[in-house]
């Protein structure tokens, strides 16, 4: 299977993330799941990738795919990694399940030059309609009932952008999706999922000083 065909088979946000990652770079994938993204990047862009995953089953799948993975709870932090050890760090559809959102974003900016996150957009209009009808929304991106959901910090697109500003994160690119299709018009209402590529203001200042 060609790299292009493989990329078309990736989940929408993962395909965009793969486009954002530069060839032959060092990539850290936090909450890497079954290793789909890293396996694709290793084959198509010859990256040196490491995944972090807590699930025994998913760790085993990563190993079977030839993906280097560390079994670790992300809530314990990224202290095992050095400053700027990676070119890119990815946190795909995991941000909303983190207890300490600010801490993980700061740690991502510490260990890598560029950061990429994706998360369900709570501002998607059917979510508001569900709340007006008196119950928490259950949709494709958020398929859990309120009592068994792993999602503890849901946010809208504007919520994330405000947090990025607070943390001095400079957004480089944004992509928003509705299921498998990318959307741009009224994305705050129409997108089910958002992905961001960003870097810290500190890294930009250093780059500017070196220019």
How far is Cα of residue 125 from the mean position of the Cα atoms in its chain?
A: 22
In angstroms, the CA 52 to CA 42 distance is: 16
Comparing CA positions, the residue from 145, 209, 193, 202 lying closest to residue 169 is 202
pLDDT in tens, 45-65: 999 999 999 999 999 999 999
pLDDT at res. 2 = 47
Instruction: Show the tokens assigned to 22.
Output: 């530069």
Classify strands 181-182 and 193-200 as parallel, antiparallel or unpaired: unpaired
Instruction: Show the tokens assigned to 111.
Output: 């260990």
pLDDT at res. 129 = 66
Comparing CA positions, the residue from 74, 159, 83, 161 lying closest to residue 123 is 159
- Per-residue confidence in pLDDT tens, the chain, 211 aa: 444 445 556 887 899 999 999 999 999 999 999 999 999 999 999 999 999 999 999 999 999 999 999 999 998 889 999 999 999 999 999 999 898 999 999 999 999 999 999 999 988 876 676 777 777 767 766 676 667 666 678 899 999 999 999 999 999 999 999 977 899 899 988 999 999 999 997 655 444 444 4
pLDDT at res. 150 = 67
pLDDT at res. 146 = 65
pLDDT at res. 124 = 81
Ranges of each domain in the chain: 3-210
In angstroms, the CA 3 to CA 6 distance is: 5
pLDDT at res. 5 = 46
Are 152 and 96 in contact by the 8 Å Cβ rule? The answer is yes
For 185, half-sphere exposure in the C-beta direction (CA atoms, 13 angstrom radius) is: 0
Strands, sheet with 68-71, edge to edge from the N-terminal-most edge strand = 68-71, 48-53, 26-30, 86-92, 112-120, 193-200, 169-178, 181-182
Three-state DSSP at 132 gives helix
Multiple choice CATH, 3-210, 3.40.190.10, 3.40.250.10, 3.30.360.10, 3.40.50.150: 3.40.50.150
pLDDT at res. 195 = 96
Are 59 and 83 in contact by the 8 Å Cβ rule? The answer is no
Q: What is the pTM of this model?
A: 0.86
Measured over the CA atoms of residue 52, residue 146, residue 12 and residue 161, the dihedral's sign is negative
Three-state DSSP at 35 gives coil
pLDDT at res. 144 = 66
Classify strands 86-92 and 112-120 as parallel, antiparallel or unpaired: parallel
């Amino acid at each position: 299977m060609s790299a292009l065909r493989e990329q078309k088979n990736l989940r929408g946000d993962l395909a965009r993330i793969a486009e954002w990652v530069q060839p032959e770079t060092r990539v850290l994938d936090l909450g890497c799941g079954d290793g789909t993204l890293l396996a694709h990047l290793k084959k198509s862009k010859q990256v040196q990738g490491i995944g972090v995953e807590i699930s025994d089953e998913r760790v085993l799948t990563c190993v079977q795919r030839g993906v280097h993975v560390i079994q670790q709870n992300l809530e314990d932090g990224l202290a095992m990694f050095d400053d700027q050890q990676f070119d890119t760090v990815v946190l795909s559809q995991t941000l909303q399940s983190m207890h300490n959102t600010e801490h993980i974003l700061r740690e991502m900016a510490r260990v890598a030059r560029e950061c990429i996150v994706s998360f369900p957009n709570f501002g998607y209009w059917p979510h508001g309609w569900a709340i007006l009808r008196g119950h928490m929304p259950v949709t494709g991106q958020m398929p859990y009932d309120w009592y068994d959901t792993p999602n503890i910090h849901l946010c809208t697109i504007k919520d994330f952008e405000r947090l990025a500003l607070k943390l001095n994160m400079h957004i480089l690119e944004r992509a928003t999706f509705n299921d498998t299709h990318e959307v741009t018009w009224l994305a705050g209402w129409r997108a089910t999922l958002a992905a961001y590529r960003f870097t810290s203001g500190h890294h930009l200042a250093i780059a500017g000083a070196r220019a």
